């Protein structure tokens, strides 16, 4: 048997010999993917996202072969998806390329019809909306809004820093949205402002959102060293339950219309969030179960899987992408710090009635950061329940992120 | 506009719009309180508050324990 015949039987080996340098990078990403699965299984990172993402990342880097029908990657490719298909300057060639690739790559229809147009982000938001109780926001709108505004520090500060790294204003704005810690919002803004960086921004954002889940408790302990302060009890109140579903429905409809009127560019995402809330409050059980079950979990699963598949070594080790790794973590770190400063401000202005840990919930990753805040507080003081306050801040964080996304898309031309 | 100006402009607009949203919520809650009280007065208060407390606590526990 000739060596060429051997290589054609094991195309993975042939791909390694074609570019041995990149193989090391691929091995690193395979190891990272397996590590993400481990962290997801252990519950250190969000398993719903990390397990599909980790497996996707490991497999896509193992499945590289001599296959590059569009001539984009120096002869190497996979049978999963081609993110660059249809992204060229010629619309006629784009359409032809897309149709061609759609018939070959099995995940291409999911990527083209749900991921690259933001539909998957909207579906996730509909599911999240159907789980949200806006009563928590209605009960304490000003406390929630102050904390949420502080927790946008990373978004605001990262934009000029990203420009210093050589990114254009649009790209810098899309990158800085990672600080909002709101996955669907990051996808949406990068699609609108910097589609050429959509894939790496999406990958970095979701990777770090998973890490934030594990890292924020350490940040809280660092910035709020006093265990007594971390365990500050907050007055148990059932204010949120005082609102009837009719009141919450009326609020959701008015807020949705007003925000869509102010920020039409963010209207698909705002509509999706409030659609979920309206379905929940209108009591249509069948739709509610559909949104917070099959729709949310199917969208989350394919989101994680597609993100993992996009973590191919060629994409991640692009020199233009590497600063993103730094800027993404900086944005989330600054937002966490901003949120805790907001928590301290609320603590001081209320004479110690607000637990400063609440600030982390303003980083809008609903309901993850609210859960992080509750877990940290409960560890210090098992009697302290701040979840209802934290959810209010978290929901308001989504709204402030949507406002910032709308402002960015409107003023940056 | 440079990045710093955009950041500052965005921060100012976001603060104004966020507080506008908070004011809308507050006004709506006041209006709903005023007009909603007549309807809610027909419901026995004790039964209603027990149900409401239970559902609130249940909702918080459900979210805290969820995998999302």
pLDDT tens-place string over residues A206-219: 777 777 777 889 99
DSSP string, A138-173: HHSHHHHHHHHHHTTHHHHHHHHHHHHTT--HHHHH
Cross-chain residue pair B2–A160, CB shorter than 8 Å:
yes
> How sure is the predictor about B63, in pLDDT bands with cuts at 50, 70 and 90?
low
Residue where the block lists tokens 């993917």: A33
- Residues A298-309, mean pLDDT to the nearest whole number: 91
Closest CA to A235 of A394, A391, A386: A386
Residues within 8 A of B (CB atoms), A 288-307 only: 296, 300
A166-199 b/e (C-beta count within 10 Å ≥ 16 → b): ebbbbbbbbbbbbbbbbbbbbbbbbbbbbeebbb
Q: Residue A1: is its pLDDT beyond 70? A: no
Q: Which of A47, A145, A244 lies nearest to residue B18, judging by beta carbons?
A: A145
User: Rounded to whole angstroms, how far apart are CA atoms A101 and A401?
Assistant: 35
> How sure is the predictor about A240, in pLDDT bands with cuts at 50, 70 and 90?
low
Q: Residue A111: is its pLDDT beyond 60? A: yes
How many percent of chain A have pLDDT more than 90? 34
Q: Residue B55: is its pLDDT beyond 70? A: no
Q: Which residues of B touch A46 (CB under 8 A)?
A: 68
Q: What is the pLDDT of residue B68?
A: 52
Q: Residue A104: is its pLDDT beyond 70? A: yes
- Residues A264-291, mean pLDDT to the nearest whole number: 89
Q: Which of A160, A387, A391 lies nearest to residue B7, judging by beta carbons?
A: A160
Residue where the block lists tokens 């219309």: A257
> How sure is the predictor about B66, in pLDDT bands with cuts at 50, 70 and 90?
low
Residues within 8 A of B (CB atoms), A 319-358 only: none
Residue B22 φ/ψ, nearest 5 degrees = -65, -40
- Residues A160-183, mean pLDDT to the nearest whole number: 90
Q: Which residues of A touch B1 (CB under 8 A)?
A: 169, 411-412
Q: What is the pLDDT of residue B59?
A: 58
Name A65's bridge partners. A77
Closest CA to A179 of A397, A363, A402, A303: A363
A166–B contact, CB cutoff 8 A = no
Residues within 8 A of B (CB atoms), A 203-242 only: 238, 240-242
Cross-chain residue pair A399–B21, CB shorter than 8 Å:
yes
- The mean predicted confidence, pLDDT, of chain A is 87
Q: Which residues of A touch B59 (CB under 8 A)?
A: 133
Q: Residue A245: is its pLDDT beyond 60? A: yes
Q: Residue A203: is its pLDDT beyond 90? A: no
CB A173 within 8 A of CB A165: no
Q: Which residues of B touch A254 (CB under 8 A)?
A: 24, 28
Half-sphere exposure for A45 (CA within 13 Å, toward CB) = 22
Q: Which residues of B touch A412 (CB under 8 A)?
A: 1, 6
Q: Residue A109: is its pLDDT beyond 60? A: yes
How many percent of chain A have pLDDT more than 70? 98
Residues within 8 A of B (CB atoms), A 140-159 only: 141-142, 144-145, 148-149, 152, 156-157, 159
DSSP string, B30-58: HHHHHHHHHHHTTS-HHHHHHHHHHHHHH
Question: In 10 A of CB A124, how many CB atoms?
Answer: 26
Q: Residue A4: is its pLDDT beyond 80? A: no
Of residues A238 and A412, more confidently modeled? A412
B25-57 b/e (C-beta count within 10 Å ≥ 16 → b): beebbeebeeebeeeeeeeeeeeeeeebeeebb
Q: What is the pLDDT of residue B7?
A: 93
Residue A112 φ/ψ, nearest 5 degrees = -70, -45
- Residues A239-263, mean pLDDT to the nearest whole number: 83
Q: How far is CA A84 from CA A60, A171, A197, A198, A290, in A?
A: 16, 18, 11, 11, 33
Going by C-beta distance under 8 Å and a sequence separation of 6 or more, which residues neighbour residue A320?
A197, A200
Interface test with B, best of A134, A141, A165, A183 (most B CBs within 10 A): A141
Of residues A89 and A65, more confidently modeled? A65
Q: Residue A81: is its pLDDT beyond 60? A: yes
User: Rounded to whole angstroms, how far apart are CA atoms A272 and A299?
Assistant: 13
B13–A contact, CB cutoff 8 A = yes
Q: What is the pLDDT of residue A287?
A: 94
CB B19 within 8 A of CB A145: yes
Query: pLDDT tens, A122-159?
Result: 898 899 889 888 888 888 889 999 999 999 999 999 99
Question: In 10 A of CB A4, how many CB atoms?
Answer: 9
Q: What is the pLDDT of residue A294?
A: 93
User: Rounded to whole angstroms, how far apart are CA atoms A21 and A18?
Assistant: 9
Distance from the Cα of A404 to chain B's closest Cα (Å) equals: 6
Lowest mean pLDDT among A91-95, A227-231, A259-263: A259-263
Q: Residue B50: is its pLDDT beyond 70? A: no
User: Rounded to whole angstroms, how far apart are CA atoms B21 and B10?
Assistant: 16
> How sure is the predictor about A316, in pLDDT bands with cuts at 50, 70 and 90?
confident
A374–B contact, CB cutoff 8 A = yes
Q: Which residues of B touch A240 (CB under 8 A)?
A: 56
pTM: 0.79
Q: Which residues of B touch A408 (CB under 8 A)?
A: 6, 10
Of residues A313 and A315, more confidently modeled? A313
Closest CA to A390 of A340, A349, A351: A340
Question: What is the predicted ipTM?
Answer: 0.79
Cross-chain residue pair A412–B60, CB shorter than 8 Å:
no
- Residues A85-104, mean pLDDT to the nearest whole number: 86
Maximum pairwise Cα distance, chain A:
82
A277–B contact, CB cutoff 8 A = no
Of residues A173 and B38, more confidently modeled? A173
Of residues A8 and B46, more confidently modeled? A8
Cross-chain residue pair B66–A367, CB shorter than 8 Å:
yes
Q: What is the pLDDT of residue A214?
A: 78
Closest CA to A56 of A305, A303, A314, A300: A305
Query: Residue A350 burial by CB count (10 A; 0-12/13-18/19+): exposed, middle or buried?
Result: exposed
Q: How far is CA A315 from CA A22, A26, A188, A311, A327, in A?
A: 11, 11, 20, 7, 17
Distance from the Cα of B56 to chain A's closest Cα (Å) equals: 6
Instruction: Name the token pair of A148.
Output: 């949420």
Q: What is the pLDDT of residue A136?
A: 80
Of residues B55 and A88, more confidently modeled? A88
CB A328 within 8 A of CB A321: no
């Amino acid at each position: 048997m000739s060596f060429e015949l051997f290589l054609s039987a094991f195309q993975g080996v042939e791909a390694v010999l074609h570019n041995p340098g990149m193989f090391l990078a691929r091995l690193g990403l395979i190891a990272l993917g397996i590590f993400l699965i481990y962290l997801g299984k252990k519950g250190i990172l969000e398993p719903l996202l990390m397990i599909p993402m980790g497996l996707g990342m490991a497999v896509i880097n193992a499945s590289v072969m001599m296959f590059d029908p569009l001539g984009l990657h120096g002869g190497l490719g996979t049978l999963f998806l081609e993110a660059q298909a249809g992204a060229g300057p010629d619309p006629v060639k784009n359409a032809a390329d897309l149709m061609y690739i759609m018939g070959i790559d099995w995940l291409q229809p999911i990527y083209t019809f749900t991921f690259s147009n933001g539909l998957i982000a909207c579906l996730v938001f509909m599911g999240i909306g159907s789980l949200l109780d806006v009563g928590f926001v209605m009960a304490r709108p000003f406390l929630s809004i102050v904390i949420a505004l502080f927790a946008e520090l990373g978004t605001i500060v990262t934009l000029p820093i990203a420009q210093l790294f050589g990114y254009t204003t649009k790209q810098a704005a899309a990158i800085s949205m990672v600080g909002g810690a709101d996955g669907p919002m990051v996808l949406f803004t990068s699609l609108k402002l910097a589609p050429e960086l959509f894939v790496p921004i999406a990958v970095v954002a979701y990777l770090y959102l998973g890490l934030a889940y594990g890292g924020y408790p350490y940040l809280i302990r660092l910035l709020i060293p006093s265990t007594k302060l971390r365990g500050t009890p907050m007055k148990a109140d059932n204010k949120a339950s005082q609102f009837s579903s009719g009141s919450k429905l009326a609020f959701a409809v008015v807020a949705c219309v007003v925000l869509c009127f102010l920020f039409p560019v963010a209207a698909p995402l705002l509509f999706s969030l409030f659609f979920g809330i309206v379905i929940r409050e209108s009591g249509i059980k069948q739709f509610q179960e559909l949104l917070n079950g099959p729709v949310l979990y199917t969208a989350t699963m394919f989101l994680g899987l597609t993100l993992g598949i996009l973590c191919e070594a060629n994409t991640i080790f692009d020199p233009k992408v590497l600063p993103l790794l730094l800027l993404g973590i900086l944005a989330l770190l600054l937002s966490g710090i901003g949120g805790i400063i907001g928590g301290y401000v609320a603590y001081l202005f209320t004479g110690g009635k607000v637990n400063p840990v609440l600030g982390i919930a303003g980083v809008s990753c609903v309901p993850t950061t609210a859960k992080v805040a509750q877990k940290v507080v409960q560890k210090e003081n098992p009697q302290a329940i701040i979840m209802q306050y934290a959810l209010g801040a978290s929901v308001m964080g989504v709204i402030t992120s949507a406002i910032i996304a709308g402002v960015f898309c409107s003023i940056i031309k | 506009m440079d990045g710093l100006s955009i950041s500052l402009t965005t921060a100012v607009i976001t603060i104004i719009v966020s507080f506008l949203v908070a004011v809308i919520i507050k006004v709506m809650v006041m209006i709903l309180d005023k007009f909603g009280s007549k309807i809610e007065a027909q419901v026995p208060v004790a039964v209603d508050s027990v149900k409401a407390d239970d559902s609130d606590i249940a909702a918080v526990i459900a979210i805290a324990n969820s995998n999302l």
